[in-house]
Structure 1
Amino acid sequence: MKRVVKILPVGSWSVEQASDVFCADYEGRHRRRRVLPTQSGEKILLELEQAHLLQAGEGLLLEDGRIVKVEALPEELMEIRAQTPLHLLQLAWHLGNRHLPAAIEAERILIRYDHVIADMVKGLGGHVHRVQAAFDPESGAYAARDHGHTGHHPHGDHSHHHD
């Protein structure tokens, strides 16, 4: 079984170089150590020091020099839309205050489906629609600080307050 030796960031490599593809939903792409099945049926070993969310478009450089492209499978999500750009920012703040992974776009926010959060968003005047889409959430400031190896941070490492 070949081992992943490096994760190549999106845009840092040519997708034509990919010899295979690893497809998974959000949960399947957020791992520290796991055997990853590729589309060809090969199994490769991902072994990191900390959990990492594999982003769609990243490349997994194998010890033999081959590259496996990461793809995100569609899953059930909530598409959140707002009345105005300011309203969308306000909704984003409420979602962020709950530490929810979110894919933020100019006119919508995508999060994993949760009926309690859907009710909260509707109560705040937002529009919620169920959609099937690939989920590739923002990695966050703490992940950037840690070179993308984790989307989590210790609770002693920040100073914001919760509702």
Structure 2
Amino acid sequence: MHLPTVTSVTRDFDTPVASITLDETARHRRRMRMVSDRLENGETIAFLLDLPQARLLRHGDGLVLDDGRIIEVHAVPEALMEVRGSDPRHLLSLAWQIGNRHLAAEITTETIRLRRDHVIRDMLLGLGASVTDIEAPFDPEGGAYGGAHSAHHHQAHDHAHAHGHPEHSHD
């Protein structure tokens, strides 16, 4: 039996045949067998994701099957912290602290969203941030190495080393 294959992703589509709902970690993929959400008739569509390189599938992306059909990606809401600063400069300083810890973060003009972590929460509160727990889809910024989302997720830790990282490759 031929398993339909996805080799490209689009944002330009009208009517998907199905959807697939994944958390942020499960949306960072290159090659794997996947199964759509249940259709109205109770069936699913199994397919092979086979992209040229690993990438973060974003909420609203369309996975293009080799027969032209589209499966729409839905991001499942996750347990996040929404961080606000007292002003834009303060938010920028908080973003620097978060980035210095290599944490995946979704950045808007007014907030930063992160996975819930009590150590990071305490650090941010100590820096004067406002931190609120929310449930929302998580679409973090892409990584600096290759433009795709970094596949690794560090837990909170202290850094006693410089951040030149030429020896690290994040692909």
TM-score norm. by structure 1 comes to 0.83
Equivalent position of 1:34 in the other structure: 32
Question: Hey, which of these two has a bigger chunk of helix by percent?
Answer: 1
Are the equivalent residues in 2 in contact too, given 1:85–1:107 (CA < 8 A)?
yes
Equivalent position of 2:150 in the other structure: 151
Q: How many matched pairs?
A: 149
Shift of 1:60: 0.7
Shift of 1:27: 1.2
Equivalent position of 2:157 in the other structure: none
Query: How many Å separate the matches in 2 of 1:32 and 1:65?
Result: 19
Shift of 1:38: 0.9
Q: Percent identity?
A: 46
Equivalent position of 2:83 in the other structure: 80
Shift of 1:156: 2.1
Are the equivalent residues in 2 in contact too, given 1:61–1:67 (CA < 8 A)?
yes
| TM-superposition CA deviations, 1:48-103 (whole Å, max 9, x none) | 35432111121111111111111101010011111111100000111111111111
Shift of 1:157: 5.7
Equivalent AA in structure 2 for residue 156 of structure 1: P
Shift of 1:140: 3.1
Structure 1 stretches of at least 4 aligned residues deviating more than 4 Å after TM superposition = none
Q: Highest Rg: 1 or 2?
A: 2
Shift of 1:141: 3.5
Equivalent AA in structure 2 for residue 51 of structure 1: A
Query: How many Å separate the matches in 1 of 2:138 and 2:35?
Result: 19
Equivalent position of 2:5 in the other structure: 3
Question: Hey, which of these two has a bigger chunk of strand by percent?
Answer: 1
Are the equivalent residues in 1 in contact too, given 2:81–2:113 (CA < 8 A)?
yes
Query: How many Å separate the matches in 2 of 1:33 and 1:3?
Result: 10
The yes-or-no answer on 1:54 pairing with 2:64 is no
When the two chains are superposed, the root-mean-square deviation of aligned CA atoms in Å is: 1.9
Corresponding residue SS for 1:142: coil
Shift of 1:36: 1.7
Are the equivalent residues in 1 in contact too, given 2:17–2:70 (CA < 8 A)?
yes
Are the equivalent residues in 2 in contact too, given 1:143–1:152 (CA < 8 A)?
no
Corresponding residue SS for 1:87: helix
